[in-house]
Structure formats: structure tokens, C-alpha cells
Structure 1
Amino acid sequence: GFGSLPAETVQEYLQVLSAGGEAHEAVEKTFWMSEAYPAAAVSLRSASPENVVLQTEEEDRPRLLGEVDRESAPWMVHPKAVYLHEAQQYYVQELDLEAGRATLIPVALDYFTEPLKETSVTVLSVVAEAPQKAWGEVQVTSQVTGFRKRAWVGGEVLGQEPLDLPPSDLQTTGYWLSISEETVEALSRAGLWTNSPNDYGPEWPKIRERVRTRDGFRCQVCGAAEGQRQHDVHHKTPFRFFLRASDYPEKARAAANNLNNLTTLCHECHKKAETNVRVRSGLAGLGYVLASLAPLFLMCDSEDLGLHIEPEAFAINGLPSLVLYDQVPAGIGFSERLFELHAELLARGLEHVRACPCEDGCPSCVGPGGENGLGGKAETLALLKQLTE
């Protein structure tokens, strides 16, 4: 045999190499015959064999800047992206995925771009499961839906634009952790998050009326019509997230109160939505912790793992869940190992967050305060305690 592979499997591989002329069998031995070195065909950056060429023009002649793998191209060199190469900014004029080419021009801009990406995970099969955890084959569908411009100085959001790019699918393996209904109820009763009234601004009554009128005075979840009590208007992305992410309250308030971020909900659906926001805070913090610790246990790069969080319901069991998946087609064993390390990961995560001296989250524990819904650290600690009891 070879390593963990049995002799029969190794022999099958050798026969395939011999049939392709890359190896030669003689005197019960197999010799490598190809002129090419095997490792040259394996990229250290990606498992994808397809690349997108980055080119610019100098003196009316195309010049090659480099390459990116096809899976990374939509978020690295999407149209109108600002791409940095050897300390020089380049503006992406065109991305042609079919031709495998991106056209860039050198620029000097006072902003950079951030892709806006949507990801969904579908469980294809479950290999093993236990309370709280499972692992199996998953399909990860990702799509870059737009991008955000941020100022180099201060990080202020200067604008946001949509993109029409095709989705990409990755069939791999994943490990997922689910939050039981009992845990969600316990967190809801704990009262770990503030519910003080928000100052939505003087125009809020008019905005609220416009949203309810637009939605036909019906709850956009259950469809219930308004009765004696007016329906609530809910911020899809929490209002406080905008305030914490910006140093300009008026601009933050305007962004939070954008009609696309508002929806009409009945009182009961609004309570559920607010609960989901709070659970999302703990889930996002927990995801940040596990995604930070997992590479240390697996001895891999952080980019080898992907993280996806479903705060409301996950396809396999209808419970809030987070998924850590291999960023390699078919997977390379990380998910199974994380399934085995589940209890230790949670225990070490709890120790790590407890030991951090920050008040409301930082890059060393659950992520910067304010990025995970309504805070993060208190919710994450409460969630970790529930999961490790």
C-alpha cells in the first residue's frame, strides 16, 4: 500500500498512469515516464483547473498582469472592481467568464470596492449525525450580487451598485451545528440584548406609512391584514448595525431607513424576526470563533474553510445553523474531522471568548463589536454556555 491507501487501490492508480503513457511497468516495478513534473499540474492557490487571465493595454498592446482562478474571478475582478496589483490600482472594465479574460486599466482612485456575496447551502446527503452536529455532502451556491465602494480614508461607504453575474456551485463536504428550539427559547428569555427605543429620525412616521402602503397593509410573512392595531415596520438589517458601522449618523439613518431595507410585519411575526436578529448575533459570533479556531485544529489555512450561517432555518432540520465546509470540490476530510472535534471546539471556543478582555467583541474573539447584529459577545457567550452544558 501507500500511506492509508490499500495495495489494490494503488495498483489501480498505477494501471491508469501506465495506460496513459505517464508510467511504465517493468520487473514488478512502476517507473514515472512523463517529461512533466506531476506537481506542476496542481495549483497551490486553487483546486480549479480553469483560470481567468488579467490583462491591460500598454502602447495599444495587451499586457498580461496575472491570473485568478475562475471561482474567485466574480468577487476579485468583477466589472467596476478596483483590483490591486503590485501596489498599483486597476479598474476592471470587463469580465468575460466564457473567454476567461478580464480587462483592466490602471487608475488612481480614493476608494476601494467590496463584493456583496450571497451564499446558500443545500445538504445532499448526511454521512453521520448526532445531537447538535452532523456532517455530509453539501452543495454551496454563491453569487456576487453587487459591490460597495468604500473610501480609503475612514472607510465611509460611498455607494453601492448591483451586478448581474452567474452563480457558481461547489459540491463538497460540510460540518454543521444546529441550535435546538430549547436553546433558542432559553436565549430569548435571557434578556442579554438591549431593547431601548431607536431614534429613526423625524421622517420616520412618513416612511413607515409609505412602507405599509407599499405592502398593502399586510404582513409580508404570514399575509395577515391590519386590524385595529397597525402593523409594525421592520428593518431587515438591524438599525443599530448602520449606526455602529458609520461615523455619520444622518447618513447611517438614511441608509437604514431605505425602503428596500424595510418590510411590514404583524406583531407576532415582528417578535419572531427580532428574535432571529438576536439569535443571529450569537450565531455570527459563534461562527467567527469556530472559523478562527478550526484551522488551528486542522493545521490548514483559514481560506481552506468556508463559513455559512442560516439564522432562521436550515434546509435539513428547520433549525438555526452554521456550516463549515471544505473549499475544495468533493472535500478533503476537514468536515469529518470537525465533526469529531465538535465538543472540543465548543469548549475551547468558550474558554477563548471568556478570556478575551474586550467588552462587546473584537477581532480576537467574536469579531468587531457591531458587526454581528446587535453586539455579539454576550450573545455568543450565552450560546456557547448553552451548547456546552
Structure 2
Amino acid sequence: VKEDLQTLCFTGSRKMAELVTLWAREDARLSSALLADSISVYRAGFLPEERRAIERQLKDGSMKGVVSTNALELGIDIGSLDAVLISGYPGTMMSTRQQAGRAGRKGGDALAILVAQGNPLDQYFMHHPGRFFSRSHEHAIIDPKNPYILSGHLLCAAAELPLNEETDRQYFGNLIEEHLHDLQSNDLLRKTSRGWVYSGRGRAAEAVSLDGMPGEAFRILCHGKLLETMDRGQVYREAHKGAIMLHQGETYVVNEMDLETHTIRVTETSVDYYTQPLKEVDLAILETLETKEFNGMKCAFGDVEVTEHFTGYKIKRRDTIIGIEPLLLPPLTFRTRAFWFVPPPQVEQSVNAADHDLAGGLHGAEHAIIALMPLHVMCDRWDVGGLSSSSFGNTGEPVIFVYDAYEGGIGLAEKAYEILPNLLTSAYELVRDCPCEDGCPSCIHSPKCGNDNQPLDKEATIHILKKICCETKKSGPASIHPVSEPASS
């Protein structure tokens, strides 16, 4: 920006977009206040008029620098830029190329730089650049039978043209009539002589959540002025009472969180710390759809129910915890799909014999597997969640779960289940080859861990994954057993 190159910086999260904007403005202000004012942030949650204004300024060249989430990746005409910075591998080659392609659309010289972060996937590519540059684009994974996804499509389709349950069955499947009546009972659709039409308030698209957690929109207010909107999941993570949140490069503290009126009240503040939520996850297996074995290791895929308990939040200054405060919030519960596996008994025995921490090893393996899922499945690590336990449920067996972080599931865990040996091998090589001693953000530490990355044991993680990978290679192809339907009485 100082060299008069119109620049777009992509980041992986809303909070990071706000932070990079804040830092860039502070640095630019040392040279020119005018230059600092020509740097802005762009992300979901802003009011429509705010987003349109930034888009116009980008297109006419008056905005010299913008920090954005993937909200500016495609679908919006912002003209041609001189340079693009990609802060961290976006998770897919498709996104990487799309973001890089925002620069140079006028046909002249342009610059695109990928700045790797310390997470496992970024570091994997930094150590294997040939694999990065030779990768082709991915194939999208989606489960069109997911009732939550299907309902959203029906809602938006009815807002454009009336739907007919008979003629439109070819597009939406045999469950279309059931979903139409469900939407009608929620006052979102009504049946007319022309067909089913949208009857909800506001735009239909605004009633559809894209982050996997359907729910009401919460309004973020500062002295009565609407700053932005968030869904319940985002509010629990970013706008709970006491949270420090960022908006347009400015810092706010959350003073009040009203779950009945869906209102969050904030005030401006100036602090040198930030907040990070603490979360505990419970998981229940609802139905096992398929099982398979790797020479004694039991693996399964099926429907699960996930319950997230937000128990408190950390107050941090850089990497130092300066306080922990409790939270009392209703749990978030959703049904989704997962794969899980139980290491063979000899793995647990050998870990204990080596005086390693079994729970820390399973937790580390869970993090490594999730971190490298985007290497094998078109997803982001934030699209999936995980749970590990050294003694799960009534069986008391050690187990690792990986689930879709979307209501109903979207096929990510299912695809990973299909290629589980390759995924486990990648995870093992990642942790084994990391030069750190006790675990770090490049191998088994996770930025999304609700347990503050505790417990973790790198040696136990290597031990578990090595044993599993060696055994699965010896055993050859897995034997797959679809679970039969229960006999009717």
C-alpha cells in the first residue's frame, strides 16, 4: 500500500481480518494518516450499505488496502487489483487460485503471495512445495439429502419461482412434500394456486445459515446503533458477555447478552488483551451405519449428537493467560455424522507400558487428523470437529471421533472414513517429522481446541499413530460391513 499498489489481503477468520486491519492502520499511520484511512476490513456480518461502499471504493481505486475473509473471494465485482496477500493456506487449491486471481485482471503485471502460518497443513506444504504446485483443484463434497440443506434450497427457490411438489420432485427428491409442509408450519412458505411461494419476513437467503448452525440472528448494538448481526454459534464464540470483539478495526467489550431478545449490547473500549472461549464437547452415538476393521482396529461411521458446553473464557495478553472467567450459557446441540475408531488393545497397553499419557496421545492424534483432513477432503479444519476419550461411554474403550460441524452432516466425515488409512498415515508423518519436542502449532496444537490444548503428549501421539499405521499396512484392505437394519418385531 505504501508503494501505491492496491492490495487485498485474505485471512482465514473474521477476527484475524479485524486484527490485520488494526495492525496495518497503526503501521500506516506512522507515515500518513490519510494512508491509514485508505485501509479497511471487509467480512460477513457488516451492514449491506457498509459492504457496498467498500466494494465501490475498491473498484474506483480510492481504497488502497482491504483485509477480507473469503467474502471477497468470488461473486463480487471489485475490478482488478495490483497485489494479493493470502494469510495462510485457505484450505483448498480452488480457493487459493481464486484468491490469487483477484490480482492482475487488467492483463498487466501482478503479485500474489501466500504467507504460510504455523499450522500443520501450511507447514506440510512448506516442506513439500512440489505437492503444492502440482495439486489440481478439488471436487466439492455435499450431501443433497441433508434435510437442513434441502430446506434452505427449497426456501430460496420458492422466493424466485413458485414450487410444485410433483414437477420439482426431479430436482429436490422424494422428500420435497414433507419439507414443504415443514416450512409452511414455520410460516416460511404458503401454498397458492400458482404453487408454493415464500411467505417469510425479509429476504429468504437471510433465513438460511451458511455456517452449519441454524438459528436466530442476534443484533450487535452500540448505544442503540446496529453494528452487525451474528448467529447463535458466532455469539457464543465471539460475543458472549465480557468478550472483546472487533468491528471495522475498532475494539468493543460486550456488556450485555440477552438470549430472549437476541440482543448483544457493546461499548467502545481500548484494551491490550483479547478473549478466547473455553468449550467442552459431549457426543452420543445415535446410529452406526457402517463398520470396518484394520487388523484389530474397529472403525465405524454413523449418526451422532454433539453437545457443546461453553464453560468460560480466557483473558489473554499475547500468549499469556491473565485471567479466566466462567460462562453460564445454554448448550448448543446438533445432530450430524461422524467416523470413529478404537485403537487395538495392544496400542493402549504399549502406551501405558512406555509411561506415556494415553489421553494426551489420543487428543494429539485427533488434532493431527483434523489438521490434515483438507489434504484429502475438500474442507477447512473449521468444517469438522473432534472428540477423543481414553474411556468412552459404557464400553470404557479409548476412541477418537471426527464429525461434520454442520447440522445433518455434509459428507466430509464420510469421505474421510473411506480413505482413513491414507489420512492416518499423513497424520503420523506430520507429527513424526515435526522438529519440536513436546508438540507445537505445526503438529498437534490446535487453535480451535476448546480445552486449551490440554492434555497433549507428542510421544504418545507418535506411538499411537505409528502402531495404527503399521498394523493397517500389514492388514491390507479393510473389510467393510454395512450395518443391517434392525429386524422388525
Letter aligned with residue 438 of structure 2: D
Q: Deviations over 1:288-326 (max 9, x none)?
A: 11111113322012221111222x321263212221111
**In the alignment, structure 1 residue 348 sits paired with structure 2 residue 421:** no
**In the alignment, structure 1 residue 109 sits paired with structure 2 residue 190:** no
* Match of residue 80, structure 1, among 242, 245, 268: 242
Where do 1:45-64 residues align within 5 Å?
Answer: 45-57=211-223, 62-64=224-226
Quote the residue 2:313 is aligned against.
147
Letter aligned with residue 138 of structure 1: V
Residue 68 and residue 22 in structure 1: after superposition, are their counterparts in 2 closer, same or farther (change >3 A)?
farther
**Contact 1:287/1:309 (8 A) holds in 2:** yes
Quote the residue 1:300 is aligned against.
379
Paired positions, count: 287
Pick which of 82-91 and 38-47 moved more: 38-47
Q: Deviations over 1:277-298 (max 9, x none)?
A: x012211211111111113322
CA distance in 1, matches of 2:175, 2:456: 55
Listed as ranges, the gaps of 5+ residues in structure 1 are 26-31, 194-277
Q: Deviations over 1:253-299 (max 9, x none)?
A: xxxxxxxxxxxxxxxxxxxxxxxxx0122112111111111133220
* Match of residue 334, structure 2, among 156, 170, 175: 170
**Contact 1:280/1:372 (8 A) holds in 2:** no
**In the alignment, structure 1 residue 42 sits paired with structure 2 residue 121:** no
Quote the residue 1:227 is aligned against.
none
> Partner of 1:362: helix, strand, or coil?
coil
CA distance in 2, matches of 1:352, 1:66: 40
Shift of 1:335: 2.1
Normalising by structure 1, report the TM-score. Answer: 0.65
> Partner of 1:72: helix, strand, or coil?
helix
CA distance in 2, matches of 1:16, 1:281: 44
Letter aligned with residue 66 of structure 1: E
CA distance in 2, matches of 1:92, 1:372: 26
Residue 39 and residue 316 in structure 1: after superposition, are their counterparts in 2 closer, same or farther (change >3 A)?
farther
Residue 300 and residue 315 in structure 1: after superposition, are their counterparts in 2 closer, same or farther (change >3 A)?
same
Where do 1:232-243 residues align within 5 Å?
Answer: none
Letter aligned with residue 54 of structure 1: I
Quote the residue 1:223 is aligned against.
none
Shift of 1:34: 6.7
Letter aligned with residue 346 of structure 2: E
> Partner of 2:173: helix, strand, or coil?
helix
Residue 70 and residue 34 in structure 1: after superposition, are their counterparts in 2 closer, same or farther (change >3 A)?
closer
Quote the residue 1:287 is aligned against.
366
* Match of residue 189, structure 1, among 328, 342, 353: 353
**Contact 2:303/2:337 (8 A) holds in 1:** yes
Where do 1:211-360 residues align within 5 Å?
Answer: 278-310=357-389, 312-315=390-393, 317-360=395-438
RMSD over equivalenced CA pairs, Å: 3.1
Shift of 1:37: 8.1
Residue 375 and residue 10 in structure 1: after superposition, are their counterparts in 2 closer, same or farther (change >3 A)?
closer
Q: Deviations over 1:66-115 (max 9, x none)?
A: 11111232232111111122222111111111211111111111221121
> Partner of 2:245: helix, strand, or coil?
strand
Residue 15 and residue 142 in structure 1: after superposition, are their counterparts in 2 closer, same or farther (change >3 A)?
closer
Q: Deviations over 1:131-168 (max 9, x none)?
A: 3311211111111111221124xx32222222221112
> Partner of 1:313: helix, strand, or coil?
strand
Residue 289 and residue 12 in structure 1: after superposition, are their counterparts in 2 closer, same or farther (change >3 A)?
closer
Q: Deviations over 1:192-251 (max 9, x none)?
A: x5xxxxxxxxxxxxxxxxxxxxxxxxxxxxxxxxxxxxxxxxxxxxxxxxxxxxxxxxxx
CA distance in 1, matches of 2:460, 2:445: 12
Residue 41 and residue 160 in structure 1: after superposition, are their counterparts in 2 closer, same or farther (change >3 A)?
closer
Letter aligned with residue 280 of structure 1: A
Shift of 1:177: 2.1
Normalising by structure 2, report the TM-score. Answer: 0.53
Pick which of 35-44 and 86-95 moved more: 35-44
**Contact 1:128/1:135 (8 A) holds in 2:** yes
> Partner of 1:78: helix, strand, or coil?
coil
CA distance in 2, matches of 1:297, 1:334: 10
> Partner of 1:105: helix, strand, or coil?
strand
**Contact 1:289/1:349 (8 A) holds in 2:** yes
